[in-house]
Structures are given as structure tokens and as C-alpha cells.
Amino acid sequence: MGSKHNSSANRARSPVSIFVVLGLCCFFYLLGAWQKNGFGKGDRIALEMPKQTDCNIFPDLDFESHHNIVAIVESSEPKAKVFKPCDVRYTDYTPCQEQDRAMTFPRENMIYRERHCPAEKEKLQCLIPAPKGYTTPFPWPKSRDYVHYANVPYKSLTVEKAIQNWVQFQGNVFKFPGGGTMFPHGADAYIDELASVIPIADGSVRTALDTGCGVASWGAYLLKRNVLAMSFAPKDNHEAQVQFALERGVPAVIGVLGTIHLPYPSRVFDMAQCSRCLIPWTENDGMYLMEVDRVLRPGGYWILSGPPINWKTYYKTWKRSKDDVKAEQRKIEELAELLCWEKKYEKGDIAIWRKKVNAKSCRRKSANICEARNADDVWYKKMDSCITPFPEVSSANEVAGGELKKFPARLFAVPPRIAKGFVPEVTIESYEEDNKQWKKHVNAYKRIS
């Protein structure tokens, strides 16, 4: 009954709902038509706006773009400066070793072979071009023995040093047999003789200095024995010497022992050598040997092969008198004693001295000791004819400045300078934090070798 009653009521209301909906539709249709004909209030304003002739009716309108922040960011970016290539005649240009400029300086004490940099107005604002046909160098270890001719197109050394096996020209490459003026049988044989006196194989020697290096074959062949050699030679008539070394992958710089210090801190090399380097060791009161002593570690070795060693055999070849070369060797021996160097070996063309480990074990007579100064502050500083003092020790067996571990343990050991407080203590902590990483590198190195 209830459902029947409800259904009849719904049927009674349905026509009324339909009429309401139709009425609303008609009302909104008429309202829209009225607005479209322009009789609405909003439309009257819209119709009147084109009639206005004053453009300043809305003076606050701003039609400029607002990108100031972006513009500021873009303007802060540096614009790339383009440098054009220099003329091809500058292929071998080395600003601070320019030959024309060098010849204006005195030749005394090799001053003209030292660094003489151009004034600001003389500096080139272009890129030094590579030699025509320059090719990517051979990868190591092949680069030790071969260099592309196009990279260093100079043959003078192949002629002048032909019998000494420095370098040979073959096809389109240079070959480096490993020879040298004082090791005609090759650098390996020469190093083997040194190793019979100097403990190279056990890691005691890690760093070396090659003075007047030539094409740096000594340093090239030391690398496979885990010794890093820094080589230097002047830019002279054989200007390509150092460039050959660099193309071979051997560390080298243009340099000379003249009037300024070598650009290295004190006590950084385990070994130093002169293989017919033509450095006048006895001149200027032994100043050049004193500079070698400064950079040589206590307990380090100095090797001299060439004049005046074995003077009895070569004095005629050198076109010198017996008395002259004999006096030169005697003077070197006296200077070595003054520096606290002990002679360990002399045979044939080679002589080897070892620096004492501290001043307590030194029996030298009076010597000109350098006044208190920072022996590491040497950049562009004049050399003096004085001996850099040993760091103080408490016993005759202590190594002055601290004893270094052998390589490769030296890689992750705290250097003695740091351990003794020469730098802030935080550096020690940073070394200890890196020890694990260093040990990983060393283990990897051991696996490779």
C-alpha cells in the first residue's frame, strides 16, 4: 500500500518540475540575449573605452619585461676570451728562456742561462702552435725509447752524439738506446754499477736529481726501479734536450746552476748525480756543491761521472794538463769533506760520496755555515757560498731531520717534518685519515709490479 501511494504522488509532481526547469531555461536565455545586445552595465564601459583619447588614463601600466634576476646571473658569467694562434715561428718559444733576451745578460756564472721573463707589455697574447704534424706521444713504456720526429723536429743531437748512443733517427721516429756520454754501454749497465754501492733496490732511494740531464735517459731508466728523477738542463744550442725528455714521459725542466737556488726545498732528494754535466763544481768557493748538499737528504748519495774523475786516462782527450785536472779533483775532495760527505766508491769513470746523517758524525774543520734562515724559501733567491746546517739531533746515530721509511712504506708514513711539528698538527690527522687509501694504492702497485 505504501509503495503504491508514493508512486502516485511522484507521478503527480512530475509535470510541475518540468515546467520549473523550462521556466528557468527561458529566463537565462533572455538574460543572455540582453547582455549580448550591449545594454549591460559592464558592456557600456567596454563600449565607451575606445572613445577615450587620453593614453594616460591608466598611468601605472608597465609594459617592460621583468627579467632582472636572470639578466644579473647572465652578466656575472665571464665571457670566453678567444686567443688566436701565434705565428709558426713561435713554435719553440719559451718566454722566460727566450734566446734573444738571454744574450743581453752577462755570461758570468751562467746568468744568461737563467730565467729572464718578459715585461708585461712584451708578453704574447696568442697560443703557441704545436709543430706541424704533431702526433700524440707514444704511451709509456714505449715512449721511453721512441718519440715522433714531428713532435721534436731536430736532428742535431743525432749527429753530435752519434757515438754516445744518446738518440738515433729512424724513419719518422727518434730512438733512444739509453746511452750517455759517461755510460756508452747503456743506462741500465750504468745504474747497475751504482746499485752495487747505493741501496737502490730496497726502496731506500726514491727521489733523485739529475743535473745537466741531456735527454734524461738516466731518469727514464730509473723509473722501472721505482726511483723518480727530476732532471734539468739549460736551453742551449741543443735546445731540444728537455723537450725530448718530456716527450719521453720523463720529469724535466729547463734549468741551470748559476746564481739562484734550485727551485726545490731542502733535504728532498735521496740521490743526485752529474754525468759529464759540465758544472764547474769547484768555482765560487764550492757554491754549486753546497747547493746540491742543501737539497740532499742526510744519508743521501752524490754521483760524479766525468771530469775530473779518471783524469789520468782522459786529460789529453779533455785537452787539459795533468796538474789542472788533478788540482780540480783534490778541490772536490776537500769540498766533500767540508760538506760532511764520505767517499764510498771510485772506479773507472764513477765516484760516489755519501752525506753524513748528522753534524755530530762530521769531523770537518771550520766552515762557513749559513745564517739562520728558511732553507726552503729559495724561489728566485740568490745562492751563497755557505753550508746549510743539519737539523739538530740528540745522539750521534739519529738522522738529522728524521729518518724516512723505505719506499713504498714511505707513501703512507707521516713525514718527519710533520711529525716534529713543522706544520700544524691537523696535517698529521689528515695523513692518518688517508693512510687506508694510500695502502690500497700501494697494494695495487705491488700487484702490478
- The answer to whether residue 100 sits within a structural domain is no
Same-domain pairing of 430 and 307? no
In a domain, 118, yes or no: no
Do 311 and 377 lie in a common domain?
Answer: yes
Instruction: Look at residue 229 and tell me if it is in a domain.
Output: yes
H helical segments located in 280-383: 287-295, 311-314, 322-338
In a domain, 328, yes or no: yes
Beta bridge partners of 170: 173
CA 51 → CA 35, 41, 44, 55, distances in Å? 20, 16, 12, 11
Residues 348 and 441 in one domain: no
Same domain, 328 and 440: no
Residue 138 placed within a domain: no
**pLDDT at res. 47:** 45
Residues 230 and 252 in one domain: yes
Domain count, the chain: 3
Per the CB < 8 A criterion, the answer to whether 393 and 400 are in contact is: yes
Please tell me whether residues 419 and 327 are part of one structural domain: no
In a domain, residue 304? The reply is yes
Reading the block at residue 5, the C-alpha cell is 501511494
Residue 253 lies in a domain: yes
Who contacts 429 (Cβ-Cβ below 8 Å, separation ≥6)? Answer: none
Q: 366 and 387, same structural domain? A: yes
Residue 269 shares a structural domain with residue 387: yes
- Do 361 and 382 share a domain, yes or no? yes
pTM given for the model: 0.75
φ, ψ of residue 436 in degrees (nearest 5): -60, -40
Query: Which of 37, 57, 75 marks a domain boundary?
Result: 75
Q: Do 295 and 358 have their domain in common?
A: yes
User: Residue 19 corresponds to which cell in the numbers above?
Assistant: 515546467
Read off the DSSP letter of residue 260: B
370, 430: one domain: no
The pLDDT value recorded for residue 428 is: 44
Query: Given this model, what pLDDT does residue 5 score?
Result: 46
Helix or strand holding residue 45 (H, E)? helix 41-48
Q: Is residue 338 part of a domain?
A: yes
Give the pLDDT means over successive 10-residue stretches in the chain (449 positions).
Answer: 45 61 70 55 47 49 52 64 90 90 94 94 92 94 96 86 84 92 91 97 96 93 96 81 93 95 96 95 96 97 96 93 95 95 96 96 83 88 94 92 91 67 44 54 50
Q: Could you list the residue range(s) of the whole structural domain that residue 430 is in?
A: 408-449
